[in-house]
Amino acid sequence: MDNQPVYDAVVIGGGPAGSTAAYLLAGFGHRVALLEKQTYPRDKVCGGCLSQKSVRFLERVFHLPVPSLREKGLLDSVGTGYALYIKNSRILAGDLAEPFYFTRRERYDAILARKAADAGADIYEGAEVIAVDHARRTVTTSEGDRYAARVLIGADGINSRVRRSLPGSVVDRQRWRKNLGWALELAIPRVEVGALANGDGAIRLDADLATPHLVLAACRWGYGWVFPNRETLVVGMGGLLEKNRDDRRDRFTEFLKTLGLSAFADRRPAGYLLPFGNFIPSPAYEGTLLVGDAGGFASPILGEGIFYAHRTAELAAHAVDRHLTSGAPPGEIYTALLARRLIPELRAEKALRDFLYGCLDGRLHAPLEAFMKATSTRVIDAVQGSRSFCGFRRNDGLHSAVW
């Protein structure tokens, strides 16, 4: 397929980031191709938790308010309360002012890719990009097809081939590795939990298994979680890779035991890498921009990445639109938008992350507990996106229009 048309933009990867970029650019009237190596519906290892940041984004940008999300089967379950632990001791619990929702990624990603197609983007499934020529702005797939564009958008996730093809001046590889996260996750069917949970764990899960649980210090510089999906209980653990090099599987087994779920210790959890504070402040080179996990954009405290995938793709789409209409360099516009709209927030959250996990590592549990109790409402607001991590000010910056 060497004589493919030249596109305005070729987006590599069709997760939340890629679909958002393709959807917006096609909506602006540009010719867009989205290349996805798998075939929809495809799964992605993910807890599927949608904070209010994501919920607001879906309404503002995709015109999918909560009732529409429900109608399309995108909301698998809802968490109206929470429980927070340090190791085995429950330090906070209660109702949430606004809920967290849980989605299933195979459905979520397929529907958003469909939205991009409906907006006019050409979606190529089974198209795995294996080579990127930044100077010529072309990519080549494993089938030998070549796609040319005026701009390339790397939305190909944490193991991004597009990112790996960029020079060291763009990606500080040492910083990248230092803040790279890892996670293990196991989905246990609810019917089995009822029958097999022995209930003798140090953490007692609620009988109806409806409350999201976060367990700090379940591993080093990270946490464990229990997310209630409709059919399954999603048990996961994640943190900084470099602090948990050798004993991740043992720690996960220990976590299952703590939850009274040791009957499931012989099941193999899915493992995956994730950004954990390794965002690239200027993720652009020539006509190539990185968005979402490919650029390291996720919450440095929790690893929540769906919102950041959407938001960085939105900023990139606007930068590309401006480039295509005015000729201004896309990388400079994108970097400036990130610097104004996102990076200060991520830096502030990363500073809090270093304090939080540093205290846990130093076993300063009592002062940390006092801090968490004093700030919990504001931290939850910041996670939900109604406050900024910069001084916990009320802030709408994460949701404001791009220009």
Ligand X SMILES: Cc1cc2nc3c(=O)[nH]c(=O)nc-3n(C[C@H](O)[C@H](O)[C@H](O)COP(=O)(O)OP(=O)(O)OC[C@H]3O[C@@H](n4cnc5c(N)ncnc54)[C@H](O)[C@@H]3O)c2cc1C
Q: Give residues in contact with ligand X (CB under 6 A).
A: 12-18, 35-38, 44-49, 128-129, 155-157, 161, 183, 185, 236, 238, 272, 274, 292-294, 298, 303-306, 309
Residue 365 burial (CB < 10 Å; 0-12/13-18/19+)? Answer: middle
Q: How far apart are CA 374 and CA 300, in angstroms?
A: 21
Nearer to ligand X (CB atom), residue 79 or residue 329? 79
Q: How far is the CB of 46 from ligand X (least distance, A)?
A: 4
- Tell the residue number behind the tokens 């085995």, with chain if given: 88
Nearer to ligand X (CB atom), residue 275 or residue 330? 275
Nearer to ligand X (CB atom), residue 111 or residue 368? 111
DSSP tally for the chain: helices H, then strands E: 12, 16
Q: How far is the CB of 243 from ligand X (least distance, A)?
A: 16
Give the helix/strand (H/E) hosting 225.
Answer: strand 222-228
Tokens of 192: 């089995």
Rg (CA), the chain: 21
Closest residue to ligand X, judged by C-beta, is 305
Q: How far is the CB of 182 from ligand X (least distance, A)?
A: 8
Nearer to ligand X (CB atom), residue 236 or residue 330? 236
The secondary structure of the chain in percent helix, strand, coil, rounded to multiples of 5, reads 40, 25, 35
Q: How far is the CB of 330 from ligand X (least distance, A)?
A: 18
Q: How far apart are CA 315 and CA 299, in angstroms?
A: 17
Nearer to ligand X (CB atom), residue 244 or residue 359? 244
Nearer to ligand X (CB atom), residue 15 or residue 330? 15
Furthest C-alpha separation in the chain = 65
Q: How far is the CB of 274 from ligand X (least distance, A)?
A: 4
Q: Angle 245-259-368 (CA atoms, 0-180°, nearest 5)? A: 65
Q: How far is the CB of 31 from ligand X (least distance, A)?
A: 19
Q: DSSP letters of 237-306?
A: EEEEGGGSSS-HHHHHHHHHHHTT-GGGTTS--EEEEEESS---SS-EETTEEE-GGGGT-S-TTT---H
Nearer to ligand X (CB atom), residue 35 or residue 217? 35
Nearer to ligand X (CB atom), residue 190 or residue 365? 190
Q: Angle 124-127-130 (CA atoms, 0-180°, nearest 5)? A: 145
Pick from 298, 308, 290, 244: nearest CA to 271: 244
Q: How far is the CB of 200 from ligand X (least distance, A)?
A: 26
Q: How far apart are CA 10 and CA 135, in angstroms?
A: 14
